Chain A
Amino acid sequence: MGAWTDMAFILVVVLDLFLLASSRLGAAIRAVALQGALLSLLALLLTSSGHDLGHMLAVAGGAFFIKAFLIPWLMFRAIREMAIRREMEPLVGYVPSLILGGLGVVLSFALSRGLPLPTNEMHPFLVPTALATVWTGLLLVVSRRKAVTQVLGFLVLENGVFIFGLLLTDFMPVMVEAGVLLDLLAAVFVMGIVMFQINREFASLDTDALSSLKD
């Protein structure tokens, strides 16, 4: 079991780096979907005797359905309707963002040493993976121009938050977790509507066109 969990954490981080270097939107959406699937797997792998098994199954199942299936499906529909394939000219190039991402991973491991867990250690990779994924998400949102890629970045950020949330599953109220999944869905849903409107107004999904408001 331990080796599988290690592997899953490492894969999540690898997917972070892949996303930072990827220019094809289809591949990026698949990577986010795969990351979502890994998260639900992790939720199961980290279930211990202290957990309510039914609850953990619900969390894992919910995460799988929303993160690995529903949202990627919505995103694929969006890019198909708008006929876009590639992220052109990101604000920060692929190599610099990969370097920044790598730095983030190193820093996350260093930082999490300074933050000793007050609970029983669940897995030594959990906190650094969560922080690295949050960092990747932030990086993607601020360094990309396409609305679709920014939404992907936001999803990666939420994935990072979700990984961290796994630490709390044994004492956190169910309500808050349900709120997390619901909010994720709602946020993307609204973003999807907005994107649809952007498409109609500009016939492109480049947020650079959204820059008439300046000081």
Chain B
Amino acid sequence: MVLFVILVPLVLGALAFSWPDNRTRPGLLVAGAGLHLLGILSLWIHPEGPVMNGYLFLDAAGKVVVTTSSVLFLASAVYAQGYLRSRDDRDNRVFVGGLLVLLGAMTTVGMAQHLGVLWVAIEITTLATAPLIYFNHNARSLEAAWKYLLVSSLGIALALLGTFFLALSGAGPDGPRSLLLADLIRAGPALSHPWVRAAFVFLLVGYGTKMGLAPLHSWKPDAYGEAPGLLGALLAGGITNFAFLSVVRVYQVTNAAGEGAFARDALLGLGLLSMALAAVFMAGQRDFKRMLAYSSVEHMGILAVALGLSGAAVTGAFYHVLNNGLAKGVLFLAAGNIHRAYGSKRIDDVRGAARRLPISGPLFLAGFLAVTGTPPFSPFWSEFMILNAAIGMGRYWVAGLFLLFLAVIFIGMGATVLHVVQGSDVGAPSRPGFRDGWLTAGPPLLLLLAVLALGIWLPGPLLSLFQAAARLATGAT
């Protein structure tokens, strides 16, 4: 089953590249997403041990992220049926094939227990995403794709150097001489400390670029602004979460080697910087898709802060991975619908979305409330868990700044969102032929219901999964 969920999307992706018919090709997305989710569910019911000499194994931390993106991918795949039908002027061969390859690569990242395999899989996610950003084939999407490719490649090259450093740190006469997580963690303090530190710095910069932590986020607003809404959802709720998981893997090793304090300080610093930067750029943002990019910077910052706080906050971080993933799906898919209906994403042009799109408009508003941590939506609880942990540890400064940034972001984002949703749409530009249909408005609606349900009732198995993932990440027994 472990290999099944990696190979099925890849095989279907190859099939998509050779599929002749443009109209039926998007169906492969649903097939891939459905089979993938079924495979993941079967792994929930019958957990499997490591395969491929221990290189691949779905542990608790991986399970949170893989399940989140599997659900999100299914929602995006259904949405794609409606979206690509409205764009049947355009060849979707690369788009559909690329998305399926992306799913396979993301799943590999989630299961990789070997830092080399992890790196290769992250590289493939980048290569698969760049052509997708260029889906609209205009100058702006080209610029976004170029920037994404260049910045991510730099990050990935530095991450590879960091991986080499880590390999070297365990190359001593009695070192593990391996990049398997379990070996590195077992070796712990025997690793060469200066090299572990250097490795952490390079890997944090490298995978932090993929996460889009400030100040390494420069690709994000452009990529999210120009990519189709469903790709934005998968970037913000999928790929960036996997990049966070990669940082968690690196932290596991660094912490086991006794350099945890150094790593936590770095994570806290970058996390708070990301939240601060998002707060500054969110206010007065004139483009609602770029605004969502800064929201993604903010939430990656929250995850970094939580990992930096360690302890109980990490349980909140894994809960937040799920919540942020689902809520980003709501926001990006609804934003994509609004963009289609108006032919613009400038807030000077777009107003009265609640009237023109009776489902997507209110969904955009509800998604905003959810993602900024308004009760009873689930992100409120995960952010509360992190805040609570910060106060419990006596980190009052961190808690205070965390709250301050959340409040500023709520106000800044709220102004833009209300402008888009409220009012009358008379006189606003429009693109005829797009209305809310169940294929395009249904998936974000279901995701929102999931976010709401998780906020009202968190099932016990999920909570214990988050706790297990946190124990794994922090090395607590």
Residues of A within 8 A of B (CB): 114-119, 134, 137-138, 141, 147, 150, 154, 157-158, 160-161, 164-165, 167-168, 171-173, 175-176, 179-180, 183, 186-187, 190-191, 193-194, 197-198, 201-202, 207, 210-213, 215
Contact = CB atoms under 8 A, between A and B. Distances in A.
- B-side binding surface: helix, strand, loop or mixed? helix
A101 B30 CA distance: 51
18 contacts: A118-B169, A134-B157, A141-B154, A147-B146, A154-B150, A154-B154, A158-B157, A161-B164, A167-B168, A168-B171, A175-B116, A183-B123, A187-B123, A190-B127, A190-B149, A191-B150, A213-B143, A213-B144
Contacts of B127: 183, 186-187, 190
A169 to B, nearest CB: 11
Contacts of A183: 120, 123, 127, 156
A119 to B, nearest CB: 4
B306 to A, nearest CB: 27
B93 interface: no
A157 B153 CA distance: 10
Interface stretch (B75-83, B134-142, B208-216, B229-237): B134-142
B357 to A, nearest CB: 26
User: Taking each of A119, A160, A183, A211, which has the highest tally of chain B beta carbons within 10 Å of its own beta carbon?
Assistant: A183
Interface of B: 116-117, 119-120, 123, 127, 130-131, 134, 138-140, 142-147, 149-150, 153-154, 156-158, 160-161, 164, 167-172, 175, 177, 179, 192, 194-195, 198, 221-222, 225-226, 281, 285, 290
Contacts of B143: 210-213
Given A176-B120, A179-B120, A150 B194 contact: no
Contacts of B171: 118-119, 167-168, 171
- A-side binding surface: helix, strand, loop or mixed? helix
B149 A197 contact: no
Contact of A168 (B119, B157, B168): B168
Nearest to A160: B161
Given A168-B171, A213-B140, A213-B222, A150 B150 contact: yes
A113 to B, nearest CB: 11
A179 B139 contact: no
Contacts of A201: 138-139, 142
A197 B133 CA distance: 13
A117 B168 contact: yes
B175 A118 contact: yes
Contact of A202 (B117, B131, B139): B139
B200 to A, nearest CB: 13
